[in-house]
Structure 1
Amino acid sequence: MKLKTAGRKLLQEKGITGLTVREACRVAGVNTGMFHYYFGSKDEFLKAVLKEMYAEFMLNFRAGVAVAGTPRARLKNALAEVGKFARSVRNAAPMIFADLAYGKKEAFTFVSGNFTEHIQHIAALAEECRPDSLLKGHSIPFMIAAMVSVMIFPVLIAGVLGRNGVRTVGGKTLEELRDEVLSDAGIAERAEIALRGTGL
C-alpha cells in the first residue's frame, strides 16, 4: 500500500514526531479521507507501519538463525539482524523507548505484543551457548541484556546526538561515526564484540 510505503520513508527520515498525516498523504499521493478510512489515526498508522517493518525483520532474522553452523554463529547472525532492524527504525526508536520509560501503557502493550518474537529465538540460542560462556552462572535474561544492548544502545545514542545538534564526537563527524557504527560491517563487528564480551 502506498501509504505504508510513504510512512516507512518518512519514519526513517523524520521519526515519529516528524511524521504527519498530511505529509504521509502527500508522499503517497492520496487524500486524507483515504488515510482515515484505512487507519483512522496517526497512532494506528504508525502501528501498522512498524508491524510491517518488524515482519520483514523477522523474515531476515529467521533466515539468519536457520543457517547451518554452530549455535555461536547463529547467535551472532541473530544479533546482527537485531542491529540492522535497530538501524532501520533508528529515528523512531528513541521515541518508542521514551514512551516505555515514561510508563505509557499503550506503548508497552504494543511493543510486548509485537516486538518480542526475536527475543525468544535469542533466548534459545543463548541457552545453547551458555555452557561455554563466562556468564554460565547468570540467567538467560542477563545474557540477553548484555548482548542486545551492544546492538541497540549505539543506535539510540546516535539518534539522541543528532537531535541535539551534536556534529562531532571523538574527533569524528557524527556522519562518519554513523557510517562506522551502523554499516553492515560495523553491525557485524558489534555482534562479535557482544559475544566476546560474554566469553564466547
Structure 2
Amino acid sequence: MARPSQNIDQRLLQAGVELLPDTGCRGLSARKLAEHAGVNLGMFHYHFRTKDNFIRTLLQQIYEQMFSLLVLRSHKGESALQNLRNALLVLAHFARTHRQLLVRIAADALAGEQVAVEFLQANLPRHLGVISSLIVEAQREGDLAKAPVAQVFSFLAGAVMAPVLLGAALADNSALPPAVGGMLEREVLSKKAVEQRVEFALRGLSVPDRRMA
C-alpha cells in the first residue's frame, strides 16, 4: 500500500504550532488537530500514533531550529563576548516569536504535564550549556565581570528573557486596558526593545575599562 503524502504530517505540525499556544498540552486533541489541518483523523494516528508523541515531535522540531541557529551564530573568529551577544539575540528572538507557546509549556510543566516536563528536562541544559560556556570564555578574555556563572546567567535571563515571558503573559490577559497592552507590545515585546535589553545587560556586566562603545 502506498504511503500517504508526507505533506500531511507537516500540515498537522503546522496546525499544532497554531493551536498549542492556546490549548496547552492538556487541551489539545487529535480531533482538533485533524480538523484544523483539514485531514482525516486516521492520518493523525498514522503519522504520530498518540497526542503526546505529536507534542513531543512538534516541540522538538521548533527547538532544534533555534538550537541550530544558536550554534551557527558562534563564530570562531569573534570574541566570546560577541558570540555571547549573538547567542542571547537568538534566544531572545526565539522567545519573542514563540512567547505564548513558551508561557503555555512552562505552565503545563508546572501543572505536571509529563510531555512538557520531559521536553524542558531534555532541552534546557543544552542552550544553558552554550550560554554558560560563552560566559566563562568572556570572563577568561577579560571582557565580562568576574562572578559565578549562575549569577551572571540569572542576571542575563532576568534582564533579557523574563520581560518577554512576563510581558507575553500580561499581554494575553484580556482584563488589561488596550493602552497597556499596546505599551507592552511596543516597549517590552518588540524586536527593538528585546535587542536593546541585550545591550543593556551586556553593558552592565562588562568590565569598566573595556565597556562596549
Same fold flag (TM > 0.5):
yes
What do residues 108-138 of structure 1 show as CA deviations (whole Å, max 9, x unaligned)?
A: 332121343222111111001224433x1x3
Residue identity in the other structure for 2:51: K
| Structure with max Cα Rg | 2
Q: Does 2:42 match 1:33? A: yes
In structure 2, the residue matched to 1:191 is 198
CA–CA distance in structure 2, aligned partners of residues 16 and 67 of structure 1: 39
In structure 2, the residue matched to 1:149 is 158
What do residues 78-135 of structure 1 show as CA deviations (whole Å, max 9, x unaligned)?
A: 111111111232112223223444566653332121343222111111001224433x
CA–CA distance in structure 1, aligned partners of residues 109 and 28 of structure 2: 19
- Check the 8 A contact 1:15/1:92 in 2, yes or no: no
Q: Per the alignment, do residues 176 and 114 of structure 1 end up closer, same or farther by CA in structure 2, a change over 3 Å counting?
A: same
**1:109 aligned residue (97, 102, 118):** 118
Residue identity in the other structure for 1:89: H
In structure 1, the residue matched to 2:210 is none
TM-score by length of 1: 0.82
Shift of 1:185: 2.1
- Check the 8 A contact 2:60/2:119 in 1, yes or no: no
TM-score by length of 2: 0.78
**1:6 aligned residue (3, 7, 15):** 15
Report percent identity of matched pairs: 31
**2:24 aligned residue (16, 24, 34):** 16
Q: Per the alignment, do residues 184 and 60 of structure 1 end up closer, same or farther by CA in structure 2, a change over 3 Å counting?
A: farther
CA–CA distance in structure 2, aligned partners of residues 121 and 155 of structure 1: 20
Q: How many residues align?
A: 195
RMSD: 2.5
Q: Per the alignment, do residues 100 and 139 of structure 1 end up closer, same or farther by CA in structure 2, a change over 3 Å counting?
A: farther
Unaligned runs of 5+ in 1: none
**1:133 aligned residue (141, 144, 159):** 144
